[in-house]
Structure 1
Amino acid sequence: MIRLVAFDLDGTFLSSFNKYNRPRFKKVFDQLKAQGIKVVAISGNRYYRMAKIFKDYLDDMIFVADNGALIWNKGQVIHQNTFDAESMERLLAEYHYPGMSLSGLNTSYIEQEVPFTQRLILKFFLGPIRRVPSFSPLPEDEFVKLSFRVKNQDTVALTKEINQRLEGHAHATHSGWGTIDIVPTGISKQSALAFLGDRFGIEPDQMMVFGDGGNDIHMLEYAGHSYAMANASDRVKAAAKAVAPSNKEDGVLQVLEDFLTSSQ
């Protein structure tokens, strides 16, 4: 019996930037809600962007932001994980890339030298941004994520290197398009699902999840019913139990519609 459905956003649920079939989703969502199934948007994005995309569902959905570092329910943070000062200082000392961003609890930070066009792109994904002269000293905040971009072909190797060098201090993952996100150690989309399972008494085999990126692999392996999107890499598909049609074909909604039909 499925009791929780979770889906990634970019490349999975969304057909393009912030776009999805809203009437079709409402019909599916209403049926899931009627069956008491919890619906979770789970992403490396900040809550700000997720709330804009699902503005009509803020009281009915659960939002896992920043790759599991912050979990929101009914407009409130129900779980958070932040870097300790030592880990953050070591992280910045070893991996300080141009254009990187630091995500605090409610605001993201970039250095003043970041070009205007890049700031616009970052604001689209991060929401409220504060520019600071430098990350040394750190702004007064608690931090949940550090992000930067590299060449797409370098993401897998660099992610592996970071996880080896900073084991016990941080966890790096890549979501696509050359973006690497670093969150506190032990935090991932899988850990967020485990927290929700404990909180609501839901077992992994009662979860259905969808993803397309490297940061989805662990949750695809964890859930009893997992779907990689047809547009995902072979590495991601190998972690899932099945493959869904692509995000351009509303693959998440197709699978959920089939599930709802079969469960009647």
Structure 2
Amino acid sequence: MPYSPSPLASPDSTAVASAGIRLVVTDMDGTLLDDDKRAPEALREVLGRLRERGVLFSPASGRQYATLAREFADVAEGMVFIAENGTYVVRDGVELSSDPLAPGVAARVVAAVRQLAADGVDVGAVVCGKRSAYVERTDEAFLAEVRRYYVEHRIVEDVAAVDDEVIKVALFDFGSAERTTAPALADFAETHQVVVSGEHWVDVMNRTANKGAALRRLQRELGITPAQTLVFGDYLNDLEMLDAAEWSFAMANAHPEVVRRARHLAPSNNDNGVLRTVARLLDLPVKGL
């Protein structure tokens, strides 16, 4: 279907051009990737065009750094990876910023998850460290979900006792994370962030940690303004990131709250919405977009 957004859905390319875009930031799952977790065929060509223009491209995801680095291994030079929902930001293998949990927090979250499981909820914890992710559930159904987002992971006897700097605890709920697991973590929401990052995922992080905070730090470091930033997202863990850019886009498939928060609307992830919007607004000569 041809992409012809209404004036209210997407800005005029002339206005975007006059802003002098220097940074494009996109969520991965439900945003850049389609529902089958596939990257668009034209992605490498668009990344090359952006590089030619001096525009920095930054994936911003709940996925771990190792997973993102593998996805973009052939084009990673100079790219900034906003990983683990903003708790770990890396460029060319060098940490730019991180927001680790205080000692003991991960163990408390794990204890709550174990109680949920004992009460019959089909849920498991992924303790996310800087070096690796750690799990103690060993069933294939759970591990298959872990492998999607955490290429570097280890099975341990007790995830509450790992020797790593923990930046996040992610919980996978085979049911509805928003309806079941997130409400059960209400006590943590008083002191930490409990963020529903997908239909089945909930992340517990420091209150100061989110994609938006990481993006604002990056903008300050690089001297890039919100007016020079294009951002795309689809779920609740993208809200603060949308606030950090004047050119903020919700995908057509986005959570209703994301659509309300963003300034503009892009086609869905299954309609190659990110690349089609970037190519149109930045006038990139890419065949098929």
Common topology (TM > 0.5): yes
Unaligned runs of at least 5 residues, structure 1: none
Residue 159 of structure 2 is aligned to residue 140 of structure 1 = no
Residue 46 of structure 2 is aligned to residue 28 of structure 1 = yes
TM-fit CA distance, 1:180? 0.5
Mapping of residues 66-145 of structure 1, within 5 Å: 66-96=84-114, 98-111=123-136, 113-136=137-160, 138-145=161-168
* 1:64 match: secondary structure: strand
Residue 34 of structure 2 is aligned to residue 15 of structure 1 = yes
For 1:156 and 1:242, how far apart are their aligned partners in 2?
28
* 1:202 match: secondary structure: coil
92 and 20 in structure 1: CA distance in 2 versus 1, 3 angstrom threshold: closer
Does structure 1 conserve the Cα–Cα contact (< 8 Å) formed by 2:101 and 2:206?
yes
TM-score (norm 2): 0.82
Residue 57 of structure 2 is aligned to residue 39 of structure 1 = yes
Partner residue of 1:54 out of 60, 68, 72: 72
Does structure 2 conserve the Cα–Cα contact (< 8 Å) formed by 1:156 and 1:174?
no
Does structure 2 conserve the Cα–Cα contact (< 8 Å) formed by 1:59 and 1:75?
no
Name the structure 2 match of 1:214.
236
For 1:88 and 1:27, how far apart are their aligned partners in 2?
41
30 and 155 in structure 1: CA distance in 2 versus 1, 3 angstrom threshold: same
TM-fit CA distance, 1:161? 6.5
Does structure 2 conserve the Cα–Cα contact (< 8 Å) formed by 1:108 and 1:128?
yes
Does structure 1 conserve the Cα–Cα contact (< 8 Å) formed by 2:27 and 2:59?
yes
For 2:69 and 2:104, how far apart are their aligned partners in 1?
32
CA-to-aligned-CA distance 1:50-73 (integer Å, 9 cap, x gap): 122212111132111100011111
20 and 88 in structure 1: CA distance in 2 versus 1, 3 angstrom threshold: closer
TM-fit CA distance, 1:86? 3.7
TM-score (norm 1): 0.89
CA-to-aligned-CA distance 1:147-197 (integer Å, 9 cap, x gap): 1123654516754674664433x2121122221011222100101101101
TM-fit CA distance, 1:217? 1.4
Does structure 2 conserve the Cα–Cα contact (< 8 Å) formed by 1:82 and 1:184?
yes
Count of residues in correspondence between the two structures: 259
Unaligned runs of at least 5 residues, structure 2: 1-18, 118-122, 285-289
* 1:227 match: secondary structure: strand
For 1:89 and 1:121, how far apart are their aligned partners in 2?
22
For 2:171 and 2:104, how far apart are their aligned partners in 1?
20
Name the structure 2 match of 1:167.
190
CA-to-aligned-CA distance 1:134-154 (integer Å, 9 cap, x gap): 234x11111011111236545
Residue 251 of structure 2 is aligned to residue 233 of structure 1 = no
